[in-house]
Structure 1
Amino acid sequence: MTLDAELKALAVQEDLPADLVWRLLGHPEARRSAALLRKDLTPELMEEIIRLGSARTLAANGFVPAVHRARFADSPEPPVRAAVAASITDEPAGVLERLAADRDPSVRWFLAMNEHLPPELLAVLAEDPEPSVRASVVSHCRNVPEPVRRALLTDSDPDVRRDAASVYSPPADLLPALLADPQTRAVAVRYAGPSAELAADPDPWVRTAVAGHPDLPAELRDLLTGDPDVFVRNEIAARSDTPATLRDSIVGTLTTDSPVADWFLSFRRNTHTCPPRAPAPPGLTREQAEALLARAGL
């Protein structure tokens, strides 16, 4: 482990004496780790973190009491307001409403991921003039009121519509429009069910969705076995109801010139491997921490 990594690990060690935390603030990376993750920062430590230029990181620390975090909502710096917007509660009342009306779209983007948002402010963000903010609502809010869901599924921006169709189950009356829309048709297949027409769609992602549908009939499965697109064939190979002999014959055709594509193909068939997670570093005694700080010149 490098010296910088050791200092960052020490900065988030629980029950670390405040005087040692104070010394760690002199190291930029350790300071940011402490500012973001420590639960026991005193007002004096927080003021020093701000003075040293890490207000944005401190604003993102959800363990900082609301009485201290509220100040960041009025920061002149958009990145600081954005950092606090992601998780702040409405203390004092009106903080969330101010952030929802913030002039900077990045602040509203981060606010959309805040689990403390009331339904009325969620609806405001779902109609935000900036598409990225509406997309953030889709990405971070799975359970939205029916009017918000409808608004996002019929959004004027094609990317927002596609993302919304991937996340929300559409009302039955919207399904025909989603199937007719090239941006949402592949996602809508899961709600419409497989058909010969969809299995022959010119969009390979539509055919891939058909190939992965749980109700795919055997005749369409066999048809898609010979699809020209490798991802469509891979989807058939990944099905639990594909006969072993057929699966083996398909796997032999699943070759690409891209390591990334190969990884995605293997991931879908659960044949990939991930490296083991690195163990957490052991906690240091005060004597060991003092030695580390001395080695770093802190």
Structure 2
Amino acid sequence: MNHVLCGLAANIALPSELVGRLITVADADIAAELAGRADLSHAQAVALVSRVEESAVQLVYEGRLTAADIDPVAQPHAALALLDERAGSPEWARLFAVDPVLERREKLAACIGLPSAVVETLAADSDVRVVAELALWTTPEVAARLAGHPHAEVRRAVAANEATPPAVLAALITGEGLPPARRCLVCDREETPFVHDPHCPRLDCDLLPGSSCDGSHESTVHHMQQAALRNPATPTEAVVGFADHPSMLLRWALAARPDLPAGVSRRLAVDPTPGVRADLAGNPAIDDALIRALADDRGHDVQRSLAHNPNVPLDVLTRLAGATKIGATLLPRIATASPAEVEELAQSPNAAARMLLAQRRDLPSEIRDTLATDPDAKVVRSIAAHPGLSEAQLRAMVDRHGVRVIAKVAANPDATPALLEDLTRHEPSVQRMFREVARHRNATASALLACLADKQARPLAAGHPALPPPVIVELLTDANWKVVEAAAANPSLPLAVMSDLVP
């Protein structure tokens, strides 16, 4: 791989003339970068395909090619991509529906808006993988028909399709009104009863670990039930009975549904599997009483999930903040807190609650400024990247809390060039701070030169437009290929150097 040319191909300052020259020498890696250019012309896109044919699919999805540019026989992957974008010819769909290459029929089956005759051809395909792919994406009418398909794998796909009518999904779960499935992927290949060895030594075997069939296609039926439980279109009354199902995976799938009745939620709240209770804890459907009960659940991830529930009361959330690791993230309940609640949180004696509030980036200036002088470093670290803080406030944070807040101060969008320079000279230093400075829009040449000394910040600094051109040129021969590509993609790379680099 030529990392210099790959970087140049992504350089937004590369003139159109040099883009054209680069196309004439492009390989697959360079073509992938060129195909993503916002300024690539239609003529250049066509030329790129003639040079590197495999770039056609990416160019289709980038919106650079039309049906007039593609020969479906010579460029089937690009033609299928256009059909996937609903921009291909209906004739192509008819062509691919009977293509002897399975992967092409399968790709076609995932396309939306196919002619009805093509859909009928795919629904009758001899390979169940094609029919299952169609079932996963097709219209309600076709999905309803395929729900009675003799192959259980097709029914599993129908159960995952959110366009499948609710009554059909209910029938798939209960089996009522549908003829029994006659085959599955397991009994297609093995004599039943059969259980697939999770450590199967056969290199050509693609059955899932533990797949089994005793004539009832039980593992595929189980997957179908899971898909239906996760499908929001499946009626509530059809799923509530799974709260006591012996399968932990089915109870787990049920726990995340936003339409759970209170009685079902209560049963799942005492489930022996912590993962089931954790998914339930994050479910907006559970009521206040259940939230408060789960707040004392020390099962793995239960309290953390509860903290992310958008309906968790603030007093519960405050307790959770001190009891579990939530991380530097804006919680949904904090994001929607009212002005009065924001005021309450800002004055909380619990530093963890103030820290959660400080993750908001739309706080009133008086609240922001109060949190900026908080005695707790965790609160200050959370507020440090808030826009609107002055240089004096940011410097005061570093003076008080040092390395505990310096990286977040460097990430503040309003950090001044002088402050960023001073941060790179801070002792002791913090690695993450150099990365933040290296990507900061206000970073100066002096600050970026300091960042080059840090291994992780070096590629970021190499791509910063404020880096002096002679340094950028020097980095084109760096031992680290990431640095080389970043330097070549730097828009401040001199034009004469760009021209010399392109063959």
**TM-score, with length taken from structure 2:** 0.40
Are 2:343 and 1:123 equivalent residues in the alignment?
yes
Name the stretch that deviates more: 200-209 or 156-165.
Answer: 200-209
Q: Percent identity?
A: 18
What is the one-letter code of the residue matched to 2:250?
A
Pairwise CA distance, 1:107: 8.3
- Tell me the SS of whatever aligns to 1:75: helix
Pairwise CA distance, 1:210: 4.4
CA distance in 2, matches of 1:222, 1:120: 43
- Give the direction of change, closer, same or farther, for the CA distance of 1:143–1:239 in structure 2 (3 Å limit): same
Are 2:259 and 1:32 equivalent residues in the alignment?
no
Pairwise CA distance, 1:239: 1.2
Structure 2 partner of 1:214:
441
CA distance in 2, matches of 1:238, 1:267: 8
Structure 1 partner of 2:416:
193
Structure 1 residue corresponding to 2:283, chosen from 61, 66, 76: 61
Pairwise CA distance, 1:155: 2.2
Which structure 2 residues correspond to residues 3-18 of structure 1 after superposition, within 5 A?
8-17=226-235, 18=237
Structure 2 residue corresponding to 1:137, chosen from 351, 357, 361: 357
Structure 1 partner of 2:394:
175
CA distance in 2, matches of 1:45, 1:211: 52
- Give the direction of change, closer, same or farther, for the CA distance of 1:11–1:150 in structure 2 (3 Å limit): same
CA distance in 2, matches of 1:107, 1:231: 30
CA distance in 2, matches of 1:267, 1:8: 45
- Give the direction of change, closer, same or farther, for the CA distance of 1:248–1:131 in structure 2 (3 Å limit): farther
CA distance in 2, matches of 1:231, 1:41: 47
CA distance in 2, matches of 1:198, 1:13: 51
What is the one-letter code of the residue matched to 1:234?
P
Structure 2 partner of 1:281:
none
Structure 2 residue corresponding to 1:148, chosen from 362, 367, 385: 367
- Tell me the SS of whatever aligns to 1:147: helix
**TM-score, with length taken from structure 1:** 0.61
CA distance in 2, matches of 1:160, 1:15: 43
Pairwise CA distance, 1:22: 2.0
Structure 1 residue corresponding to 2:288, chosen from 49, 70, 78: 70
The answer on whether the counterparts of 2:443 and 2:466 sit within 8 Å (CA) in structure 1 is no
- Tell me the SS of whatever aligns to 1:229: coil
Pairwise CA distance, 1:113: 4.2
Structure 2 partner of 1:236:
461
CA distance in 2, matches of 1:82, 1:126: 22
- Give the direction of change, closer, same or farther, for the CA distance of 1:180–1:152 in structure 2 (3 Å limit): same
CA distance in 1, matches of 2:485, 2:346: 33
Pairwise CA distance, 1:154: 1.9
Pairwise CA distance, 1:98: 4.6
- Give the direction of change, closer, same or farther, for the CA distance of 1:147–1:215 in structure 2 (3 Å limit): closer
- Tell me the SS of whatever aligns to 1:166: coil
How far does the alpha carbon of each residue in 1:234-269 deviate from its partner, in whole angstroms, 9 at most, with x for none? 23212145577744643654659xxxxx8xx89999
- Structure 1, unaligned stretches of length 5 or more? 90-94, 257-261, 272-298
The answer on whether the counterparts of 1:78 and 1:107 sit within 8 Å (CA) in structure 2 is no
- Give the direction of change, closer, same or farther, for the CA distance of 1:47–1:186 in structure 2 (3 Å limit): closer
CA distance in 1, matches of 2:239, 2:448: 66
Pairwise CA distance, 1:35: 1.4
Pairwise CA distance, 1:100: 5.9
Structure 2 partner of 1:99:
316
Pairwise CA distance, 1:177: 0.9
- Structure 2, unaligned stretches of length 5 or more? 1-207, 210-218, 490-503
What is the one-letter code of the residue matched to 1:61?
N
Pairwise CA distance, 1:165: 0.6
- Give the direction of change, closer, same or farther, for the CA distance of 1:254–1:106 in structure 2 (3 Å limit): farther
The answer on whether the counterparts of 2:381 and 2:408 sit within 8 Å (CA) in structure 1 is yes
Are 2:386 and 1:163 equivalent residues in the alignment?
no
Pairwise CA distance, 1:88: 4.9
- Tell me the SS of whatever aligns to 1:142: coil
- Tell me the SS of whatever aligns to 2:453: coil
CA distance in 2, matches of 1:28, 1:267: 48
What is the one-letter code of the residue matched to 1:137?
L
CA distance in 2, matches of 1:267, 1:52: 52
What is the one-letter code of the residue matched to 1:72?
L
CA distance in 1, matches of 2:270, 2:423: 60
What is the one-letter code of the residue matched to 1:193?
T
Structure 2 partner of 1:292:
none
CA distance in 2, matches of 1:247, 1:98: 53
